[in-house]
A and B are shown apart, each in its own frame.
Chain A
Amino acid sequence: MEDVKLRNFHQAHWNEPIIFELSVPGRRGLIPPAPDEEIKKEAGDAKNLVPKGMFREQLPALPELDQKRVLAHYIHLAQETLGANLCNDISQGTCTMKYNPRINEELAAHPGIASLHPWQDVDTVQGILQMYYEFEEILKEISGMDKFSLHPQGGAHAVYTAASIMRAYHRDRGELDKRREIISAAFTHPCDHAAPATAGFRLIILPPSENGYPSIEAVKAAVSERTAGMFITNPEDTGIYNTEIDQFVKIVHDAGGLCFYDQANANVLLGIARAREAGFDMCHFNIHKTFGTPHGCSGPGLGALGVRDYLAKYLPFPTVEYDGEKYYLDFDRPESVGKIRQFQGPAGVLVRAYAWIRAVGQEYLKEVSEISTINHNYLQKKLQELIPEMDVPYAPGRRRLEEARYCWQKLFEATGISTTDIMRRVGDFGLQHYWTSHHPWVVPEPMTLEPCESYGKEDLDEYAAVLKHIRDEAYSDPEVVKNAPHKCASHKLADESALDDPKRWATTWRAYIKKKGRT
């Protein structure tokens, strides 16, 4: 640990123009294949194949570039991005930034998936349907749920689908008008509050007790004949395992509600504990976290939604079924909540996840969880040894499972250096900037790190050493921290308020040009 040498890092800094600034009239990046002469002759001028007034005379003002310039531009932009496959990304706590194996990209590019149309006859897609089926079987075993849907394209999407199912369940029982309240916890992911709200529910968000999760009394007080259900994480984003979770579930069930288990933090529970034993009716896995598929700058992911048998009829259609000889799609599901996305979900992600779980298999899946908790507990110990100001609020003395919500408050009080200053500064050492916390910050000056199984001891040591170094800088050279980053692809914004000002915000180049008055 003492031997850790901090990197003299500098990220690529191309000062890359916006692609429209590189445009030169007449340049071409790609020529599309023209129709055969006979087709052109037969069909005639394209203008005459469009109703009057609908032919676009003024072409869209897209940039005009040669192919090399487009390629170089985007490679520059790639180099100005710190993906988890190339850096020590313990940083993004709650996100489980695993290694995304290269072989899985090769497999996902195979024409047997890349060139499949979702409406092909099922006889021609037996391979991919088998993969759906087998992957669902594996998820059923890991969670104890009875049926899965692989339609949702991300975690929040699965949570929304679960809320839709809860709605359908209460509607079928004639109770939807009265059951509109969802119970959740303050440290549970915002999507567990926002997605049920979008589906038409009201939220009751319970504050943490000294354990870091709501008290049983608070749950009891929250339920009523208005309770539709509960959406909750365990461990919460604090890494604290709620040992009373089955009692929470029972209280909600007794009140007539359903319980959804957000398993975004499942990486530490694989083969250890399941949603079923805790009594949950539904759960989901973020496949792009727990099953090693790429986050893709935020999607496409896959939010695999599992339900108990009595809710299976509500899953989005079609489901993948097997009749003993053949795999098929079942569209005949009259009680389904309907579609939550077109077709059969993000199938390319499924192929990668299937390959990941087959590579890890029975022998190593539990090892994933063991190493995740060992990595975390090692890192936490190192950080608390090296940084005396570092606190880990709630549940004193209890070990966190896979991550912790740390607190820099003491350092902030002593030096004026905040967690967002430190977060920006870590980038100068080649680490992805770290995750603070979702809002509101219940823990002041928060930091959330998740050293999942993809990181080695040397990564953990490096991370701890960087944070220790920045902590020392907070006393010795606070300005260098406050003005960070210095060696990243770009710098601090001059004035963040521009992003909230209608006269200055711009999400497109054309809007920027208009507002800046440039030509």
Chain B
Amino acid sequence: MEEKEKRRAHPYIPNSVPEIKEELLKEIGIESAEDIFGQIPEHLRLKRPLNIPKAITSEYELKKHVTNLLSKNKNCEEYLNFLGGGCWQHYVPAVCKTIMERDEFLSAYVGEAFADHGKFQAQFEYASCIGELVDMDMVNTPTYDWAMACATTVRMASRMTGRGKALIAASISPERLSCIENYAWSSTSDIETVKYDPKTGLLDVDDLKSKLSDDVCVLYMENPNFFGVIENQGQEIADLLHSKGALLSVGVDPISLGVLEPPAHYGADFACGDVQPMGIPMSYGGGLGGFIATHDEPKFVAEYPSLLFGIAETVEEGEYGFGEVLYERTSYASRDKAKDFLGTMAQLHGIVAGVYMALMGPQGMKELGEGLLQRASYAAKKLSSVKGVKAPLFDSYHFKEFTVNFDGTKKTVAEINKALLDHKIFGGKDLSKDFPEMGQSALFCVTELHSKEDIDMLADALASVVGM
């Protein structure tokens, strides 16, 4: 039975038809693949069959098996989700899904512009739309995620200034801080965090002043920051840095840029962030892609490690073509002499984010942003009405996310979130470990998917959970 199964051709392996395999072997002039593998020394060979699960060759059985596993998860369509923090549950438009699933984009790779013309143009348009959102002229093809994007700007700034100390706002995502510490180690091993004001959550400018020295290459901060707080001291911060010859890099939630000023308007040299909220499913954090934008000046452009897709004319009159800008920078061309490294990153997510921005247009981004400001404001107020709950923790303006403090309930965030599961609610991200100074606080996120009813349901559930 097993032997018979082995002889059946696999749907993914056309030449596994035994007769074809034989024919090919005959043409090559060998008896079996062993005649080729035989060159591998005996002691390096695996001499037993791999102990891995048997093949599920029927597509139906495979679907059933994998779907059963996936169905063990409780997903954010079944539960009411208030988690955010860098992976957000926004609406994924149908057109985005359609384009993301096209086999042409899905299964293309590094083909050149004449055969993969559409891929290049879609990437170029993605970069062009990001350029409009951040009001900057130079945009990369996406890197892995926001964390690697912001870490890359730190390395770029270090090379540009020849300095080895980086300042990082303490109000950024701890995961992104960890990435920066790892990735920027060889360029900026001296990394110092700049405090946030415990009352407002805004950057502590006095602390920045005390740490700003002539060897600082960059300050990286986020706006809105990890706590959802909208920073309003951008220009003052930029001026301070520039007066010392240092640069400012600002991480943004692109979804906010229909209502919030982009970093370039308050003097930032780099803008970076994640494309995930723009039409890409969360996929357990798999839907990420990091963008980097700067002004279109050679000193910046020369330091990008990413592929940069540029538009150019072809030999045909009136036809756009595409190619790679300053290719020699990249590690594909210059190996260890390149600006950092390059590889398979997140291009498909860039393309989909481009579709999203084209669908939304300026008005869509504005309406969405306004609605998020309003929902966050309503939600914070509503949660504050629960006894013992303070929301937001910081006395500031918030976009989409805000911190909620539960100290007054005498319960931990962990206890509250566990209890919320019984109400089919995913509560906010527990901040008590990463930000112990904030006590029992959590980061809550509301998006356009949340109705008043959903927010009220959260408040009611909280009231019952804290039992006060």
Contact = CB atoms under 8 A, between A and B. Distances in A.
Interface string B99-111: 1011111111111
Interface stretch (B203-211, B238-246, B404-412, B448-456): B448-456
A195 interface: yes
Given A81-B118, A381-B27, A491-B319, A19 B358 contact: yes
Contacts of B429: 119
A78 B121 CA distance: 10
B99 A74 contact: yes
Contact of B308 (A155, A292, A438, A507): A507
Contacts of B86: 342-343
Given A360-B55, A433-B114, A127 B69 contact: yes
Given A117-B282, A274-B46, A456 B20 contact: yes
Contact of B325 (A81, A103, A299, A507): A507
Contacts of A111: 75-78
B442 to A, nearest CB: 10
A149 interface: no
A323 interface: no
B417 interface: yes
Interface stretch (A32-40, A250-258, A473-481): A32-40
Interface string B431-468: 00000000000000000110111010000000000000
Contacts of A493: 113, 312-315, 321, 323
Interface string A478-519: 000001010011111111101110101111111110100000
Interface stretch (B163-171, B214-222, B286-294): B286-294
Q: Which of B130, B141, B287, B318 neighbours the largest number of chain A CB atoms within 10 Å of its CB?
A: B287
A453 to B, nearest CB: 5
Interface stretch (A196-204, A215-223, A404-412): A196-204
A38 B123 CA distance: 40
B375 A35 contact: yes
A364 B12 CA distance: 10
Instruction: Select the residue from B76, B104, B142, B344 with max chain A CB neighbours within 10 A.
Output: B344
Interface stretch (A48-56, A305-313, A386-394): A48-56
A491 B323 CA distance: 11
B160 interface: no
B85 interface: yes
Contacts of A277: 43-46
A485 B321 CA distance: 13
Interface in B42-89: 43-46, 49-57, 59, 62-63, 65-67, 69-79, 81, 83, 85-87, 89
A20 interface: yes
A42 B381 contact: yes
Interface in A69-104: 70-71, 73-86, 89, 91-92, 95, 97-101, 103
Nearest to A20: B128
Contact of B23 (A112, A295, A457): A457
Contacts of B333: 439
Contacts of B121: 16, 18, 77, 80
A487 B381 CA distance: 62
Contacts, number: 775
A374 interface: yes
Given A294-B106, A339-B147, A344 B24 contact: no
Contacts of A396: none
A60 B89 CA distance: 23
Given A197-B335, A294-B348, 20 more contacts: A53-B261, A60-B135, A61-B362, A62-B133, A74-B95, A75-B99, A117-B76, A117-B284, A198-B186, A296-B105, A297-B108, A342-B175, A355-B62, A371-B15, A374-B25, A433-B115, A438-B332, A490-B316, A505-B310, A510-B137
Interface string A4-27: 000000010001101110000001
A64 B77 CA distance: 30
Contact of B285 (A138, A342, A360, A401): A342
B374 A46 contact: yes
A50 B2 CA distance: 68
A41 B369 CA distance: 16
A299 B265 CA distance: 31
A358 interface: yes
B190 interface: no
Contacts of A127: 69-73
B253 interface: no
Interface residues on A, range: 35 or more
B197 interface: no
B36 A401 contact: yes
A159 B314 CA distance: 37
B15 A74 contact: no
A510 B139 CA distance: 11
Interface centre among A125, A138, A494, by most chain B C-beta atoms within 10 angstroms, is A494
A111 to B, nearest CB: 5
B389 interface: no
Contact of A86 (B71, B104, B185, B374): B104
B387 interface: no
B325 A197 contact: no
A342 B107 contact: no
B109 A243 contact: no
A194 interface: yes
Nearest to B362: A59
B341 A191 contact: yes
Contacts of A265: none
Interface string A99-122: 111010111111111111111110
B154 interface: no
B199 interface: no
B373 A454 contact: no
A271 to B, nearest CB: 5
